[in-house]
Amino acid sequence: MTDNTLVLTDLHRHLDGSVRPQTVLALARHFNLPLPADTLAALRPILQVTEPCASVEAFLAKLDYQVAVLGNLDAVHRVARENVEDLALEGVDYAELRFSPAYMAGPHGLPQDGVVEAVVDGVQSAARATGVKVNLIGILCRGDGEAACQRELDAILSQRDHFVACDLAGDELGFPGERFVDHFRRVRDAGLNVTIHAGEPGPPQSIWQAVTELGATRLGHATTAVQDPRLMAHLAQEGIGIESCPTSNVHANSVADYEVHPIRQFVAAGIPVCLNTDDPGVSANSVPFEYRMARERIGLTDAQLRQIQHNGLQLAFLSDAERAELRARKRQARG
């Protein structure tokens, strides 16, 4: 389903939503923490989604198990390393991993700066070992409120050179983007790119706000954009990319099923869209799985999927020279 002559990317993947179930179990045992089950077989259905959740919130609640076991910075380092190892196993050439320092630090009161350092170091060492190229996106966890998000941004900017962008994630309806205009001014002033979780489940207005007030040049999900033809035209005209994550949208019940996923309308409208996993720790998915579902369930053609794979590299927060290097590496690997 994926074209192995093209660079394969995942631009929307939460590092703190991609903890292996066996690692959740191992860390819980190591730190002597309670879990609702003590075997991998019994734990999987609790950690992972097997059928659509009642809501986005119910989906997000599943994520909490993955950070609840981060008892120290070594655990954070391990999770960061394993994220990159899993990308390599899926055949991904380039990924942008995103994480919320506050979300990872929260359960055990770890220092946010330390969490950022541990993630940076873990990702870098595994990237060297595997050859996967990885950049980081810092998340502001909107549900923590404006003041906490400023502190979270402080932690991200303390390692500014190790990030390519910032994102806003969490409770979109309860904490709308209007409350984070100052934060994203700081992000842009620091020279970082902006991508925003918008339009899942927020209305089209939330997507407009992300683009016009927060400075988003890419959007996470944006599934409700199809309700506003003027917005669709604007995204296409401005080349604003949509990071689509169909399995996650189905699991979070923000899209009824693959067959009605709006990615087909995005493609038809000429919006640059790419395929991504979001939270493999919950959805048990992978990049190749998303391409397979896009073909078999959503009904995209091979030509459309090749264009989507191409878009992944074009939308990446990389320089043209870095893109060229990834393409050259791919050619070399094929001999």
Instruction: Count the neighbouring beta carbons within 10 Å of the beta carbon of residue 67.
Output: 22
- Our finding on whether 16 is near Zn ion (CB under 5 A) is no
Least distance CB 167 / Zn ion (angstroms) = 8
C-beta separation of 135 from 318 below 8 A: yes
Nearer to Zn ion, 82 or 200 (CB): 200
Distance from C-alpha of 331 to C-alpha of 206, rounded to nearest angstrom: 41
Segment interacting with Zn ion, rule: CB under 5 A, options 31-39, 72-80, 275-283, 294-302: 275-283
Nearer to Zn ion, 196 or 269 (CB): 196
Nearer to Zn ion, 278 or 290 (CB): 278
Segment interacting with Zn ion, rule: CB under 5 A, options 172-180, 186-194, 270-278, 322-330: 270-278
Segment interacting with Zn ion, rule: CB under 5 A, options 143-151, 188-196, 272-280, 288-296: 272-280
Residue from 278, 290, 293, 298 touching Zn ion (CB under 5 A): that is 278
Least distance CB 166 / Zn ion (angstroms) = 13
Based on the residue annotation, tell me whether 290 is a catalytic residue of this protein.
no
Instruction: Count the neighbouring beta carbons within 10 Å of the beta carbon of residue 114.
Output: 15
Distance from C-alpha of 178 to C-alpha of 166, rounded to nearest angstrom: 16
Nearer to Zn ion, 57 or 113 (CB): 57
Distance from C-alpha of 221 to C-alpha of 233, rounded to nearest angstrom: 17
Residue from 90, 200, 243, 290 carrying the catalytic annotation? 200
DSSP string covering 87-145, please?
Answer: HHHHT-SEEEEEE-HHHHHGGGT--HHHHHHHHHHHHHHHHHHH--EEEEEEEEEGGG-
- Our finding on whether 93 is near Zn ion (CB under 5 A) is no
Binding region for Zn ion (CB under 5 A): 278
